[in-house]
Amino acid sequence: MIYISDEPKLSPWGAVQHCEIMNTGIYSVDTASHGGIMIEAEYAKEILSPEAQKVGFYENGYLNFEEDCDADVAIRELLDKNIWEIPDKVNDKEKFESNVNNSIKRWNPEYWQSREKRLSEVTYDKRYIVSDFSIGKPIIVDTKSKTLSFYLYNMHGQLYNLKNPEVHKITAKTINGLIKRTQDYFRYRKTEKVVDGYIYKYLMNQSQKEQCGVKPEIRFSNKITETNDFEQAVRKMCEWSYENNFHGSNEEKENGRRQRLQYCDNYLKDIKAEVNSSKSNERKSLLQTLKENKNKVKQPENIKKNVNEKINLR
């Protein structure tokens, strides 16, 4: 939907002398004495967070943000929502954004804290990301458990460590260490690791990414699949490995495909069996615990008395 609106002629700070259109219905204005950012009320309620709306004030159909302290909250929201870009006339865009953040921390700390909390809850929308980590060596990134699992293949393109991959847990200490390294450009270039790109893209929240001085990239890698289903992730990874790492003729590959990929089906069946067995044992364990506790539970004297009375009546 395209909205058509007129530039404001009057602001809470007086007659508008200069107006910069930041986006449809969003204006940065100057007056003879002051200025700020004005957002049409209808737009503000739709695009700004409730915390940001509390910082501004409504007047004459606009949500207004005063330039000295509060306008940076509006700028931060517009940047976060990707509906405004720092103009090219700003020579140092990173410094501009840093100044915006520092201003908010000083003058609107409650908004900053709410934004930090909101961003810390944002994670990648798929749980399993499967990629070609290096030549023929696939990796599964688990965005929920925050792990990187590495797999190896044989000459038939089969993952021989499917049951026991090399697993790396990405902890808060790992992430904080990466943030610290990226803040020193020259040090980071010496200590850069291939996994940094995966950690940055899939396992860091937005707040953590913003603290990085260098933005690690995933290099020389092809994504195999991304899904919320572990079985699908494993199956796609095994099929990909077979297609790309089988050493033999195309005829041998096609004729032996089903047989050579059977190990994948067997693995997934074993996983399901283990899960079902574990659930069954948990139920048995709970039942056994209740049976053992039955005679240990002490009944209050009045309950004992009532029970005895009922027995005597019979």
Task: Decide which of 120, 146, 170 is a domain's last residue.
Answer: 120
Residues above pLDDT 70, as percent of the chain: 86
Gap between the Cα atoms of 126 and 129, Å rounded: 7
**36 domain residue, yes or no:** yes
Q: Which residue has the tokens 């079985």?
A: 231
For residue 277, give its domain range. 273-310
How many structural domains are present in the chain? 3
Q: Residues 138-194: pLDDT tens digits? A: 999 999 999 999 999 999 999 999 999 999 999 999 999 999 999 999 989 999 999
In a shared domain, residues 109 and 136: no
Above 70 in pLDDT, residue 247?
yes
Domain boundary among 67, 85, 120: 120
pLDDT in tens, 16-69: 999 999 999 999 999 999 999 999 999 999 999 999 999 999 999 999 999 999
- What pLDDT is recorded for position 294? 54
In a domain, 293, yes or no: yes
| Residue 5 within any structural domain of the chain | no
Q: What is the pLDDT of residues 264-298, one digit of tens each?
A: 999 999 998 887 776 666 555 666 666 566 565 55
Q: What pLDDT, on a 0 to 100 scale, did the predictor assign at position 301?
A: 53
pLDDT category, 313, cuts 50, 70, 90?
very low
Specify if 61 maps to a domain: yes
Distance CA 208, CA 199 (A): 11
**Residues 150 and 239 grouped into a single domain:** yes
- Helices 109-120, 71-80: axis angle to 10 degrees equals 10
Structural tokens at position 34:
């002051």
Domain identity same for 70 and 144: no
Q: For residues 105 and 58, state if they share a domain.
A: yes
Domain check: are 198 and 290 in the same one?
no
- Residues 243 and 137 grouped into a single domain: yes
Q: Each residue of 119-139: pLDDT tens digit?
A: 877 677 899 999 999 877 899
Residue 267 lies in a domain: no
Confidence of residue 306 (pLDDT cuts 50, 70, 90): low
Q: Are residues 35 and 102 in the same domain?
A: yes
80 shares a domain with 154: no
Do 144 and 218 lie in one domain? The reply is: yes
Residues 145 and 104 in one domain: no
Identify whether residues 217 and 93 lie together within a single domain: no
Say how far apart CA 151 and CA 241 lie, in whole Å: 10
What mean pLDDT do residues 75-99 have? 93
Specify the higher pLDDT residue, 154 or 2: 154
**Residue 115, domain member (yes or no):** yes
From 91, 120, 149, give the residue that closes a domain. Answer: 120
Q: Show the CA angle centred on residue 294, arms to residues 291 and 300, nearest 5°.
A: 170
Q: What is the rounded CA–CA span in Å between residue 160 and residue 165? A: 9
Sheet containing 35-40, strands listed edge to edge, beginning at the edge strand earlier in sequence: 18-23, 26-30, 35-40, 62-66, 57-59
Q: Who contacts 294 (Cβ-Cβ below 8 Å, separation ≥6)?
A: none
- Specify whether the CB–CB gap between 61 and 45 falls below 8 A: no
Percent of the residues in the chain that have a pLDDT greater than 90, as a whole number: 75
Query: pLDDT, tens digit, for every residue of 198-218?
Result: 999 999 998 899 899 999 999
Q: In terms of domains, do 139 and 87 share one? A: no
Question: Phi/psi at 286 (nearest 5 deg)?
Answer: -65, -45
| pLDDT band at residue 307 under the 50/70/90 scheme | very low
Do the domain assignments include residue 17? yes
For residue 2, tell me if it sits in a domain: no
